[in-house]
Structure 1
Amino acid sequence: MSRNKSFRWARYGRSGLVLLLLTGVAVQNAAATSGGRYLTVGTAVALLCGLALLVRRLPWFIAPLLTTVAAGLWGWPLLPLLLVSLFDLAAQRRIAVAVGCCVVVLAANTVAPSALSLWRPQQYGASLFLILAVVSGLWMGNRRRLVEVLNAQVEHLRIERELREQAARAAERSRISAEMHDVLAHRLSLIALHTGVLTTRADALPGPVAERIGLLRTASTEALSDLRDVLGALHEPSPTAGDAAPAPVLREVRELVEQAREAGQQVDLRTSGQPEQAPAAHRLALYRLVQEGLTNARKHATGAPVHIRVDYGPPATVVEIVNAPGPPAAHTEASGFGLVGLSERVHALGGHLSAGPNGAGSWRLAARIPHPAHPEQNGPRP
């Protein structure tokens, strides 16, 4: 908030009704010192000071100036409104102005009538109230600024986490594209190869069949070229990604499990169905899920056994990874965004991913991806 704007009473969560009550007290005090008459200059000044404190659009110095002059001339009846003004000044870190107002008021009251002077009946009673108002305002202003800074930091962290999640999802989409480029390029290359062999024997084939084979070879070659133009760049590793894991290209889960076992990890793998029963995209997702599950187990449960269940379906491809509790690995920094990317991949295939505690300190990562031939399948999710 700008220093040119006043920290009004209501800005600290206090009701304007309280300020109106203090204004009424000041009016009552001024009337009491005038023999019970309300139509006096003192009561008018009290109302004017209360109005200056309530109106937020006035320049910041108006309310302190009015309350200082009023308390200096009319003494203790205007003290409540002066305390509010000093509180606001201290909350704005205008300590020098607040101290100056206190000095002016106390100095002016040394020559004020004894019935109105702030030095009566207790010589230093009013001074203590003035100091208390300044200290309270300074504390409240510092607290408010601290809360604003903390809120800004929380909002910054929230935005930063959202950006990181978006980056993780975008990276997973790029990884999917690169993997599908490898798979489709392999399949299209086989089609182009076989049709090329057939075109060399076109003389032994009927004319329409030879013509169709030629068109098929041309189409497959053009499709392969288009695929490389669109997705090929995504497969090229960046200069800073030298340690990135290569695309699995339909590598099987068993290979990943064997590598983990060779590294000393206890892995129990149970599979049902044949990998060929699942679509290529599902098999790539399975590989990434098992890879992430084994990595998380090594990070957060070192030495704990890992149980993996894979069902290639149909009607759905299902994977479940459960690791027992164990001590975390030393010097491990978990980003927490690997599961974000996996969730993006599984949801893109129309599946469901769940990850969380599984009781007794174990952790469970599971996914269910329906086969394209059964999009309406609504079996129980893992």
Structure 2
Amino acid sequence: MSRRENPRWAVYGRRGLVVTLTLVTVQNGASAAGGRYLSLGPAVGVLCGVALLVGRLPWPVAPLLTTAATAWWGWPTMPLLLVALFDLAARRRARIAVGACAAVLGANLLTDPEFSLWTPQQYGSSLFLLLAVVGGSWMGNRRRLVRALTTQVEHLRIERELREVAARTAERSRIAAEMHDVLAHRLSLIALHTGVLTTRADGLPDQVGRRLTLLRTASTEALADLRDVLGALRDPDAAPAATAPAPVLREVADLVAQARAAGQRVEAHLDGRLRQAPVAHRLAVHRLVQEALTNARKHAGGAPVTLRVDYRPPATTVEVGNAPGARSADTVASGFGLIGLRERVAALGGELHAGPDGSGSWRLTARIPHPPGSEQNGART
């Protein structure tokens, strides 16, 4: 916003103008009184200037004082009257401003003071008074138009954001419904048929019976995992980055092996069983470790990395730390990786902390609580 459009600069400019015109009025009054500043004319000028500067006074005070002073004295206080007329017109009181102009001109015409507004030019003062009213009306309309346009732009911005949120929510719900219709139906059929075959497996070889049992268990767990993922996907408060599953669900050991193959020194400690954590947690852990190893390569090249992952209930915990190292020359820091991870962990009800630990090392820790009932599911697998 420029200084011209900033309300503070408009207030400061008006105050400076009023102070300047008040000093001019005091000087004119002292000159008319033979150089005496302690006289009625300068005192009236100061009183009118104070009335225009003090904003807590009732609005009619300043127009009445300046109108009465100009009607009694003439052109020495007319500059302050112009400011009062401008303010009246800008605040949609143009009729009152026109009435004040008529009262001042009529009083000077009837009383003919020493500094009458009708001398030395008969209509010069009338033109100035008219310009003050017209200018105030134009400025007031412009300010109201700018405020209305600003409010409209703000409403459009809020409406656009709400539409984006509604569109994302609708799209997540549509995807979840489609995934449920397609996958849940097929998995249910698999679980149903394998269950029937399991009950009639007396005449089948033991190896076939075990595989049927394994297939039925896997399909049932797949339905539970699908329900967990779709529950997060249907959550309207969850961000898209927190609900979008990874393209490929791989174990953390694969990421560690890839990092070591690229020359990165990684010390990994994996506790618990992978199946003890819900599928949404395994996706989150995959992204956490992937982002932590990538950041360590970019910001601390050659430094050793320590990785700890515990899948056991009641929570999945991840801790990744690396010592200081050399920063890659072509690294471009964006910060969006950690933001996305925080949204993903928060969508699962967990907490994520990342930053220096005081010794110059960088540490990332996350804790994702397991949903109720996951202990039994983990024990069954």
Match of 2:338?
none
Question: What residue identity is the alignment partner of 2:120?
Answer: P
Match of 2:333?
none
Question: What residue identity is the alignment partner of 1:372?
Answer: L
Aligned partners of 2:198 and 2:209 also within 8 Å: yes
Alpha carbons of structure 1 residues 44 and 27: separation in structure 2 relative to 1, 3 Å:
same
Alpha carbons of structure 1 residues 121 and 111: separation in structure 2 relative to 1, 3 Å:
same
Cα deviations by residue, 1:288-333 (Å, 9 ceiling, x for unpaired): xxxxxxxxxxxxxxxxxxxxxxxxxxxxxxxxxxxxxxxxxxxxxx
Identical aligned residues as a percent: 64
Cα deviations by residue, 1:119-162 (Å, 9 ceiling, x for unpaired): 11111111111011001101111111111111122112111111
Match of 1:148?
147
Match of 1:65?
64
CA shift at 1:41, angstroms?
A: 1.4
1:95-114 to 2 correspondences below 5 Å = 95-114=94-113
Aligned partners of 2:73 and 2:114 also within 8 Å: no
Pick the aligned partner of 2:244 from 339, 342, 349: 349
Alpha carbons of structure 1 residues 218 and 348: separation in structure 2 relative to 1, 3 Å:
closer
Aligned partners of 1:172 and 1:345 also within 8 Å: no
Long gaps (5+) in structure 2: 1-6, 256-286, 295-381
1:264-275 to 2 correspondences below 5 Å = none
Match of 1:76?
75
1:126-205 to 2 correspondences below 5 Å = 126-204=125-203
Aligned partners of 1:73 and 1:109 also within 8 Å: yes
Aligned partners of 2:86 and 2:137 also within 8 Å: yes
**Cα distance in 1, alignment partners of residues 113 and 60 from structure 2:** 29
Aligned partners of 2:73 and 2:113 also within 8 Å: no
Question: Aligned residues, how many?
Answer: 246
CA shift at 1:182, angstroms?
A: 2.6
**Cα distance in 2, alignment partners of residues 52 and 9 from structure 1:** 20
Give the secondary structure class of the aligned counterpart of 2:13: coil
Aligned partners of 1:72 and 1:108 also within 8 Å: yes
1:208-357 to 2 correspondences below 5 Å = 217=216, 348-349=243-244
**Cα distance in 1, alignment partners of residues 210 and 15 from structure 2:** 89
Moved more, 173-182 or 218-227: 218-227
Match of 1:332?
none
CA shift at 1:77, angstroms?
A: 0.7
**Cα distance in 1, alignment partners of residues 212 and 24 from structure 2:** 101
Alpha carbons of structure 1 residues 347 and 218: separation in structure 2 relative to 1, 3 Å:
closer
Q: Which structure shows the higher helix fraction? A: 2
Match of 1:291?
none
Aligned partners of 1:10 and 1:16 also within 8 Å: no
Match of 2:4?
none
1:51-62 to 2 correspondences below 5 Å = 51-62=50-61
Question: What residue identity is the alignment partner of 1:140?
Answer: M
Cα deviations by residue, 1:242-284 (Å, 9 ceiling, x for unpaired): xxxxxxxxxxxxxxxxxxxxxxxxxxxxxxxxxxxxxxxxxxx
TM-score (norm 2): 0.55
Match of 2:307?
none
**Cα distance in 2, alignment partners of residues 131 and 347 from structure 1:** 64
**Cα distance in 2, alignment partners of residues 61 and 177 from structure 1:** 65
Aligned partners of 1:188 and 1:220 also within 8 Å: yes
**Cα distance in 1, alignment partners of residues 155 and 161 from structure 2:** 10
CA shift at 1:194, angstroms?
A: 3.9
Match of 2:116?
117
**Cα distance in 1, alignment partners of residues 123 and 8 from structure 2:** 26
Aligned partners of 1:185 and 1:224 also within 8 Å: yes
Pick the aligned partner of 1:371 from 248, 255, 260: 248
Match of 2:88?
89
Aligned partners of 1:176 and 1:345 also within 8 Å: no
CA shift at 1:111, angstroms?
A: 3.8
CA shift at 1:183, angstroms?
A: 3.7
**Cα distance in 2, alignment partners of residues 152 and 101 from structure 1:** 34
Long gaps (5+) in structure 1: 1-7, 236-343, 351-368
Aligned partners of 1:90 and 1:134 also within 8 Å: yes
Aligned partners of 2:72 and 2:113 also within 8 Å: no
Question: What residue identity is the alignment partner of 2:76?
Answer: P
Alpha carbons of structure 1 residues 93 and 52: separation in structure 2 relative to 1, 3 Å:
same
Aligned partners of 1:83 and 1:130 also within 8 Å: yes
TM-score (norm 1): 0.55
